[in-house]
């Protein structure tokens, strides 16, 4: 079952499904033990873009590391298409928050790194590279170093580096963080376009509500420490997604829903006495007594 | 648009008649004038300094003398032999210590015990143990650069962000790939730093070694100018050493820039 | 209805402002013949692609930098032009993106800094005023804390109070809530809304967040890419004080759509222009 993604280079199209069962992660630090994740159970469906959200400290990044295989869960299991995860692998490629492009390699070398270390032939590597670089609009910049590219371009290079290997699952951990809002919006549009074209399974983590709703088929919200699945929201906005949907009534409805859920979790942070607590104190007061002096 | 042209003209003018360049130039002139004055009016403790013009005359003599240029050659050879040996041994050692915890556990304690000893303190032992004087000088230069490069390489390896290693693993890299394509290039900036700092230290060590133990070289020359009471030539020697050191550091820095094209700013 | 400032001050007129940066050779026309007005006590929000345009205006009004040509007037007085540039002053206060609270001073010391240092208030007066402000916005009990003990949301609010205690004519905020997550931002918006309603003064607010822009502003000024000019001005006719349920209303959505389209157009241009520069 292959898909032709437009330019003759085929994607194998057999995308994966991730299943987490009762995943728990505890960190032991000196005399304290920190339970970051607590019996998380959910799936990342085949061919869908699932977004993971939650307040700071809910363990989203830890979850990513577990699915990617960089760390092992304390208990519980993670399956990719039925087989348990056992270390990193090229079937699950990750794009991190901070750029992980190799600074000493050109864009071309970075993008073809996977092919090279896996022994893919020169000819095929070149073909794949050309195709993917053109797709992300970086073909003219293939001989530049990452330091010579803007933030948005670096991110696209990283996406290319991952996608050229046709992974079963793409994992992205706040990939557009740090970009200015304008670039970010354009990157979201760009990425959603790429996703819709191929339909690869995606696990996407973000803080930004608009970004989450714009991209996702489903949003999974985690609770504050320890992280458990609080809610799963189906995003029934039509595809292909377009930027003007950000102003649609349905979008704003879903947005309100998500904010309320996150707000609930943030109040728990307050109850737990974290620094973020003061924000909530203010929120509660402010909501109660909106300006009476204005008419 | 005339505003643009006006700005362009201003810019060209500033390049030549830049107020900051003028200030710099004036400061050097003032320094020389002050120097002349200090000697002329016999400021206590400083009256034996040579006049600027005497130093200039001494420099002219030196430039014409073969011995002087031999001195340069001798010192430079010593620097390069010692320095390069330090890199050839130190870099692989540093990489090994950075990568393998076991290896580091065995080698680091001894290394850390020896590191605090200033290279100059090695001089008597070096002279005693090496068969020739020249070899002992090479050894001293080596010590100067060795500890610095090893420490920097270890630092360099640990500075490599873990996400780069993770990314490489995910992409299918095996240990040999990780070593050659991630760890080595990734520690290059630290290696270059180690080399640059090491180069500065080696000159220090060399001059001291030549003054105490050496035969020939710029340090020896300067010392002999002292024992012969040829004061202008002491200053010439000092300046020569400074220039030589500067040239070597610049060379290392230039090589560093060439080796790391990705570090250029645009 | 909140329209004018309590003493009708803080009217800004921007006329044909041009700014050319000439950093070592490549001269950059950041802004060209930009003109618009801000009425006294108006909450003006500036949005647009990244570039020097918005900051140029902020810097000129605040007194940090000059303009190449054109004029800026504050309440009829010329404060910036080719030949004249007014120096920074408390009447035009700036709140920056990255916290600029003095880390070695407590919250109270930070807030009373301006009036005390300029001898406009005695310390006791200033302390009372500060305490009152903190109480009004629900930030009790943090007087004696140091900035690093507080979350960024609280720090940001303290900074705004520190600016406002000086009763400036104009308050300029350069993406003050950037980087805060959605919940914290909601709190910030309500906070700023309360303060603005309580004692209106001219606001010059730069942001990239369009919901923030429409929620807070009386008008949204959309800038073009370099060279920056005014692309469009959208008047926000929502009643004050704005409540969060307004975000779902039809008027709001129409406004958002309008702003979104204009901004998106310019963002695309900037994106493409930026890449050409890189090549």
* Domains of chain A and CATH, by start: 14-91+179-294 (3.40.50.300)
User: How does residue A182 score in pLDDT terms, banded at 50, 70 and 90?
Assistant: confident
Q: What sections of chain C are H helices per DSSP?
A: 53-62, 107-117, 123-136, 152-164, 182-198, 210-216, 250-278
Name the residue facing B182 among A68, A92, A102 (closest C-beta).
Answer: A102
Is pLDDT above 70 for A295? no
Subunits adjacent to chain B (3 or more Cβ pairs under 8 Å): A, C
Interface of C with B in 59-88 (CB under 8 A): 68-69
Percent pLDDT > 90 in chain A is: 51
Q: Is A114 on the interface with B (CB under 8 A)?
A: yes
What is the per-residue pLDDT for A269? 66
Interface of A with C in 34-73 (CB under 8 A): 55-56
Alpha carbon distance A97, A101 (integer Å): 11
Q: Is A193 on the interface with C (CB under 8 A)?
A: no
Inter-chain touch B171–A102, beta carbons under 8 Å: no
pTM (2 decimals)?
Answer: 0.78
ipTM above 0.90, yes or no: no
Q: B39: how many CB neighbours lie within 10 A of its CB?
A: 17
DSSP state of B181: I
Name the residue facing B11 among C22, C68, C69 (closest C-beta).
Answer: C22
**In tens digits, what is the pLDDT along chain B, a chain of 266 residues?**
677 777 777 767 766 677 888 899 999 999 999 999 988 898 888 878 889 889 999 999 889 989 899 999 999 999 999 999 999 999 999 999 999 999 999 999 999 999 999 999 999 999 999 999 999 999 999 999 999 999 999 999 999 988 899 899 889 899 999 999 999 999 999 999 999 999 999 999 999 999 988 788 999 999 999 999 999 999 999 999 999 999 999 999 999 999 998 886 53
CA end-to-end span of chain B = 27
Inter-chain touch A117–B172, beta carbons under 8 Å: yes
Alpha carbon distance C51, C154 (integer Å): 29
Is pLDDT above 90 for A216? yes
pLDDT in tens, A232-251: 999 999 999 998 898 888 99
Q: How many angstroms separate the CA of residue A64 from the nearest CA in chain B?
A: 12
Q: How many angstroms separate the CA of residue B11 from the nearest CA in chain C?
A: 8
Q: Which CATH superfamily is domain B52-261 in?
A: MetI-like (1.10.3720.10)
Q: Which of B58, B72, B65 is nearest to B207 (CA)?
A: B72
What is the per-residue pLDDT for A45? 92
Is pLDDT above 70 for A283? no
Subunits adjacent to chain C (3 or more Cβ pairs under 8 Å): A, B
What is the per-residue pLDDT for A57? 65
User: How does residue A287 score in pLDDT terms, banded at 50, 70 and 90?
Assistant: very low
Q: What angle do CA C243, C249, C253 make, to 5 degrees?
A: 110
User: How does residue A282 score in pLDDT terms, banded at 50, 70 and 90?
Assistant: very low
Residue C194, CB-side half-sphere exposure with 13 Å CA sphere: 25
Subunits adjacent to chain A (3 or more Cβ pairs under 8 Å): B, C
Q: How many angstroms separate the CA of residue A69 from the nearest CA in chain C?
A: 28
Q: Is B264 on the interface with A (CB under 8 A)?
A: yes
Q: Is C25 on the interface with B (CB under 8 A)?
A: yes
What is the per-residue pLDDT for C274? 66
Residues of chain C predicted below pLDDT 70: 1-8, 23-25, 51-52, 99, 274-279
Distances (CA, A) of C30 to A150, B260, C226: 19, 33, 5
Inter-chain touch B11–C25, beta carbons under 8 Å: yes
Q: Is C248 on the interface with B (CB under 8 A)?
A: no
User: How does residue A286 score in pLDDT terms, banded at 50, 70 and 90?
Assistant: very low
| Chain A residues close to B256, C-beta within 8 Å | none
A194 contacts: CB under 8 Å, gap ≥ 6: A135, A136, A159, A163
Domain residue limits, chain B: 2-40, 52-261
Inter-chain touch B7–C25, beta carbons under 8 Å: no
Alpha carbon distance C214, C233 (integer Å): 12
Q: How many angstroms separate the CA of residue B14 from the nearest CA in chain C?
A: 11
DSSP SS3 for A115: helix
Alpha carbon distance A101, A113 (integer Å): 10
Alpha carbon distance A290, A280 (integer Å): 15
């Amino acid at each position: 079952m292959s898909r032709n993604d437009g330019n003759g280079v085929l994607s194998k199209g057999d995308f994966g499904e991730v299943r987490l069962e009762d995943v728990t992660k505890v960190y032991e630090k000196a005399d304290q033990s920190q339970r970051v994740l607590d019996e998380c159970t959910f799936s990342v469906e085949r061919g869908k873009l699932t977004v993971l959200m939650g307040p700071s400290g809910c363990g989203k990044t830890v979850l990513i590391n577990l699915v990617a295989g960089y760390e092992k869960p304390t208990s519980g299991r993670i399956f990719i298409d039925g087989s348990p995860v056992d270390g990193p692998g090229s079937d699950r490629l990750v794009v991190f928050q901070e750029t992980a492009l190799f600074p000493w390699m050109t864009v071309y070398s970075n993008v073809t790194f996977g092919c090279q270390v896996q022994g893919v032939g020169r000819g095929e590597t070149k073909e794949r590279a050309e195709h993917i670089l053109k797709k992300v609009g970086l073909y003219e910049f293939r001989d530049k170093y990452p330091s010579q590219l803007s933030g948005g371009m670096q991110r696209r290079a990283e996406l290319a580096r991952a996608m050229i290997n046709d992974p079963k699952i793409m994992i992205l951990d706040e990939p557009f963080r740090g970009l200015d809002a304008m670039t970010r919006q354009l990157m979201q549009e760009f990425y959603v376009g790429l996703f819709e074209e191929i339909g690869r399974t995606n696990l996407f983590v973000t803080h930004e509500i608009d970004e989450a709703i714009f991209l996702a088929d489903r949003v999974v919200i985690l609770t504050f420490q320890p992280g458990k699945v609080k809610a799963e929201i189906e995003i029934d906005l039509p595809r292909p997604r377009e930027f003007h949907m950000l102003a649609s009534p349905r979008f704003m409805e879903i947005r309100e829903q998500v904010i309320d859920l996150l707000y609930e979790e943030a109040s728990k942070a307050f109850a737990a006495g974290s620094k973020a607590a003061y924000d909530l104190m203010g929120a509660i007061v402010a909501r109660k007594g909106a300006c009476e002096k204005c008419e | 648009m005339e505003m643009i042209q006006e700005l362009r003209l201003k810019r060209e003018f500033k390049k030549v008649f830049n107020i900051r360049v003028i200030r710099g130039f004036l400061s050097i002139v003032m320094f020389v004038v002050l120097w002349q004055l200090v000697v002329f009016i016999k400021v206590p403790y400083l009256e034996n300094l040579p006049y600027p013009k005497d130093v200039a005359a001494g420099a002219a003599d030196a430039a014409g003398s073969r011995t002087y240029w031999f001195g340069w050659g001798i010192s430079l050879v010593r620097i390069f032999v010692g320095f390069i040996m330090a890199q050839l041994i130190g870099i692989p050692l540093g990489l090994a210590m950075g990568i393998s915890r076991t290896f580091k556990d065995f080698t680091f304690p001894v290394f850390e015990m020896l590191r605090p000893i200033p290279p100059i303190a090695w001089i008597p032992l070096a002279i005693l143990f090496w068969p020739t004087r020249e070899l002992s000088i090479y050894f001293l230069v080596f010590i100067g650069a060795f500890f610095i490069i090893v420490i920097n390489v270890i630092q360099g390896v640990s500075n490599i962000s873990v996400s780069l290693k993770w990314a490489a693993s995910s992409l299918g890299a095996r240990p040999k790939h990780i070593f050659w394509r991630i760890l080595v290039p990734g520690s290059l900036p630290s290696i270059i730093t180690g080399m640059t700092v090491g180069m500065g230290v080696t000159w220090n060590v060399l001059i001291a070694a030549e003054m105490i133990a050496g035969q020939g070289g710029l340090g020896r020359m300067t010392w002999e100018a002292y024992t012969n009471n040829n004061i202008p030539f002491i200053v010439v020697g000092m300046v020569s050493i400074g220039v030589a050191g500067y040239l070597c550091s610049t060379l290392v820095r230039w090589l560093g820039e060439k080796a790391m094209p990705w570090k250029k700013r645009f | 209805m909140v329209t004018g400032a309590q003493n009708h001050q803080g009217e800004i007129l921007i006329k044909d402002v041009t700014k050319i940066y000439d950093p070592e050779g490549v001269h950059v026309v950041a802004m060209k013949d930009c003109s618009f007005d801000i009425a006294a006590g108006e909450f003006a929000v500036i949005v647009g692609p990244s570039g020097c345009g918005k900051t140029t205006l902020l810097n000129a009004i605040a007194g940090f930098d000059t303009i190449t040509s054109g004029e800026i007037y504050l309440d009829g007085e010329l404060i910036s032009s080719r030949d004249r540039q007014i120096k920074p002053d408390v009447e035009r206060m700036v709140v920056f993106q990255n916290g600029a609270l003095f880390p070695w001073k407590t919250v109270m010391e930070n807030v009373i800094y301006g009036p005390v240092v300029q001898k406009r208030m005695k310390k006791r007066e200033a302390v009372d005023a500060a305490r009152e402000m903190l109480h009004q916005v629900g930030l009790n009990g943090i007087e004696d804390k140091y900035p690093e003990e507080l979350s960024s949301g609280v720090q940001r609010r303290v900074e705004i109070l520190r600016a406002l205690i000086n009763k400036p004519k104009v308050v300029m905020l350069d993406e003050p809530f950037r980087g805060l997550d959605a919940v914290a931002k909601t709190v910030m918006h309500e906070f700023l809304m309360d303060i603005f309603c309580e004692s209106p003064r001219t606001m010059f607010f730069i942001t990239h967040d369009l919901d923030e822009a429409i929620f807070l502003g009386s008008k949204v000024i959309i800038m073009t890419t370099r060279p920056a000019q005014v692309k469009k001005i959208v008047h926000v006719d929502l009643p004050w004080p704005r409540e969060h349920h307004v975000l779902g209303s039809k008027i709001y959505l129409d406004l958002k759509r309008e702003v979104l389209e204009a901004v998106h157009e310019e963002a695309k241009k900037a994106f493409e222009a930026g890449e050409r520069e890189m090549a």
